[in-house]
Structure 1
Amino acid sequence: MRRLLAAFGLLAGLVGPAAAVDYAGFVEAGLTGFIRPATQAFADTAADLAPAVRSVCAAPSETTRRTFAEVNSATIRALGRIGFLRFGPLAESHRLERLAFLPDPRGIGQRQIRKLVADRDPSALDTAQLAAKSVAVQGLTALQIVAFDDAGAVVLGGDGEEAAFLCGYAAAITDNVGRIGAEVASGWADPAGYSRTLLEPAPDAPVLRSPKDAAEQIFNALVTGLIVVKDQDLLPALGKGVDSARANRIPFSRSGDGVAYLTAEIEGLHDAWLAAGYERDLDAEGAWIPASLAFEFANALKALAGVPAPVRRSMADPATYDRLAYLVLVLNSLRDMMALNLAGSLGMTGGFNALDGD
């Protein structure tokens, strides 16, 4: 990271920003063109989860199980699109961690969930009490363990005491997810909420003191999002080679949604970048950047499109492994192009944080 930061400083000094960069315009465009509609889309989709759980538990059938799996997948994809927004309403009250406890390399969530189920803990069946528990047992990553088996099949709707408990627990989880989704969407929609912090920075504000500060917060979240996909979602799963790969480390792969989640993450970053309209204020020296970014985003999505789902089965194929390894290279290119070239051309600093490595 130190080498990249040094390179960034040199590049920023050589290139410099275009004249009169409209940082406030980037912020408003990002809010109206991506953040608000994407968080509302997540809230709308998440609201469908609890009814789907109750349907499969009340009348288990191939149809109700398929419907639940589809709604679950749609909710995972909607979360993937906004997961990089690690500030504002999604960051407040640990909402992101409560929705998805990631990464979890030591299996903390699975251990805690197994204990809740083994103890038939009644507090896990109450949404309010569940929301006060560990972040590892109350969100979409917990639902993976409760509602799906190792082969990705829906297990809700069985017979017996444990099956009844799992249904009650899944209902509480999905009620909680729906509530959090609504809080995130309303937090961004509220003109007096965090949107005001971004749109009305002030010299005496604790964090964002200028339109440039506000623009950098959104921009740096994009770069961090690329880092998360690479360093947290992909590299631990790839290991040192196909023989040591651990596809189960890819988020949401238990339900067969690993590829869909990765795709949604990259699509969300792409769409947020486009919505902000950074290309408007690039000078002639930076005019090449948007087309190059678009090319690399397309390469990333093409690589994922060639990965058969479920990835827990397909990753043993060297061809699939190679596609995911190639994706890492593309993500590195995207990160550098955004954090070095685009940031330098627009006179923005940062773009790297503690999540990034050397």
Structure 2
Amino acid sequence: MRVHLTLMAVLLVASSPAWAAPDYAGILTAGADGPMIAGYRDFQAKAALLDQGMQTLCASPAPPSLEIARAGFHAAMDSWQKVQWIGYGPVEAFHRGQRVQFWPDKKNAGDRQMLALLKDRNAEALEGNRIAFASVAIQGLPALEMLLFDTNQAAKLVEASDDGTLRCRLAQGITANLGRIGGELVQDWSKPDGFATVLKSAGTGVNPYADHRQAASQMFNALHAQLSAMAEVKLAYPLAVSAGEARPSRAESWRSKRSLRNIAVNLESLRDTFATAFAPALRADGKGAAADRFLAALIDAQGAVTKLPAPMEESMGETDGWARLNGLKAKIKTAAQVLETEVAAALDVQVGFNGLDGD
């Protein structure tokens, strides 16, 4: 009788929610059909509007049309920051991610190469299909940011001169390229055999993933990698060890002074993705507490962003501003810690696991 009761107890525990595997398929479906494809569609749309704004500027070079183009840049960068965490899938093909945003550029390749094009007056290098053969450092948003926001370059952009025309041709080559890449990403995600289908059908047919758990693990690790990049690259790298050592030009979007805005968009995107895809599965599995603690950590970091003096490119050189930014870094690290411990355990996934490497 005692053996029978013990066996019954084991069976009951094994069948309880605490022992049930999370709904990995549901996580993937919610993520792929929700914020992931929606984010890429938004980037495609914003890139098209940016291209239109640049055409307006080049047709009528003047300060008001420059502001229209700059607004288009901000909208496109906002949209890209929402999907920046998705570092795998179609964005890896043809170096699309690096072509949209080559950063961090620790060797300053983008500036050097763009200045060389300007010196050689080589606008053809970024026009039509030729841009695909140009360096990734001058194909995307950072190179465009230089033309639109650098004081000297922007002044020439609004001139009705050969210098202005040269810069317009380069900028239009970049915006057209961004539009093409945006379209390619949406197509490769949403076509019948596209990446959304690959994720949702993991473990069946010819598929790079052995099962849904493996695919969900890669998605989870992409979220974690973004948090790590925010803390270590977007903040620690420019902040250095003190306000006196801070290097504003190392910030992600220092010329447009929107580096803190990038982090704010990142946090909102991660929160939305986790709340949409992962949290429901954890709650259904009786592990909602882990989800709630992670979401609370993200909200805490978001609250810190709203209290920071902007732009961070200026405040990081001041003692109080540096301390606040360093505090934000700590809060983001806390969120990453909750994700890699409590949430990883609840989901039965490993941090740092490459979903394509197998067990």
With normalisation by structure 2, the TM-score equals 0.88
Query: Are the aligned partners of 2:126 and 2:134 in contact in 1 as well (CA < 8 Å)?
Result: no
Amino acid at match of 1:240: V
Q: CA deviation at 1:204?
A: 7.1
1:259 correspondence with 2:260? yes
Distance 1:221 1:154 in 2: 40
1:28 correspondence with 2:47? no
Change (3 A) 1:307 1:153: farther
Paired residue for 2:321?
Answer: 320
Amino acid at match of 1:63: P
Paired residue for 2:13?
Answer: none
Query: Are the aligned partners of 1:29 and 1:276 in contact in 2 as well (CA < 8 Å)?
Result: yes
Q: Deviations over 1:152-172 (max 9, x none)?
A: 967522243222110110000
Query: Where do residues 1-358 of structure 1 align in structure 2 (5 Å cutoff)?
Result: 18-149=19-150, 156-202=157-203, 205=206, 207-282=208-283, 286-351=287-352
Query: Are the aligned partners of 1:98 and 1:138 in contact in 2 as well (CA < 8 Å)?
Result: yes
Q: CA deviation at 1:338?
A: 0.9
Query: Are the aligned partners of 1:18 and 1:282 in contact in 2 as well (CA < 8 Å)?
Result: no
| 3-state DSSP of counterpart to 1:288 | helix
Q: Deviations over 1:291-313 (max 9, x none)?
A: 22222111212222233333322
Q: CA deviation at 1:131?
A: 2.0
Distance 1:239 1:150 in 2: 26
Residues matched between the structures, number: 338
Q: Deviations over 1:210-255 (max 9, x none)?
A: 0111111111111111111112211110011011101221111211
Distance 1:18 1:283 in 2: 12
Distance 2:89 2:239 in 1: 32
Amino acid at match of 1:174: T
RMSD: 2.2
Query: Are the aligned partners of 2:243 and 2:319 in contact in 1 as well (CA < 8 Å)?
Result: yes
Change (3 A) 1:17 1:87: farther
Distance 2:163 2:288 in 1: 60
Q: Deviations over 1:51-98 (max 9, x none)?
A: 111211221333212211111101111100101101111111110000
Say which is worse superposed, 84-93 or 277-286, in terms of deviation: 277-286
Structure with more relative contact order (C-alpha pairs < 8 Å, separation 6 or more): 1
Change (3 A) 1:322 1:191: farther
Change (3 A) 1:124 1:306: farther
| 3-state DSSP of counterpart to 2:317 | coil
Query: Are the aligned partners of 2:90 and 2:195 in contact in 1 as well (CA < 8 Å)?
Result: yes
Q: Deviations over 1:263-292 (max 9, x none)?
A: 111211111111103343358884322222
Change (3 A) 1:17 1:180: farther
Query: Are the aligned partners of 1:339 and 1:352 in contact in 2 as well (CA < 8 Å)?
Result: no
Query: Are the aligned partners of 1:343 and 1:351 in contact in 2 as well (CA < 8 Å)?
Result: no
Q: Which runs of 5+ in 1 are unaligned?
A: 1-15, 354-358
Paired residue for 2:10?
Answer: none
Query: Are the aligned partners of 2:24 and 2:213 in contact in 1 as well (CA < 8 Å)?
Result: yes
Query: Are the aligned partners of 1:157 and 1:167 in contact in 2 as well (CA < 8 Å)?
Result: no
Query: Are the aligned partners of 1:109 and 1:136 in contact in 2 as well (CA < 8 Å)?
Result: yes
Amino acid at match of 2:339: M
Structure 1 or 2: more helix by fraction: 2
Amino acid at match of 2:21: A
Amino acid at match of 2:348: G
Change (3 A) 1:160 1:151: closer
With normalisation by structure 1, the TM-score equals 0.88
Indicate the structure (1 or 2) with the bigger Cα radius of gyration: 2
Amino acid at match of 1:121: N
Change (3 A) 1:284 1:79: closer
Query: Are the aligned partners of 2:22 and 2:285 in contact in 1 as well (CA < 8 Å)?
Result: no
Change (3 A) 1:220 1:41: same
Amino acid at match of 2:248: A
- Residue identity over aligned pairs, in percent, reads 28
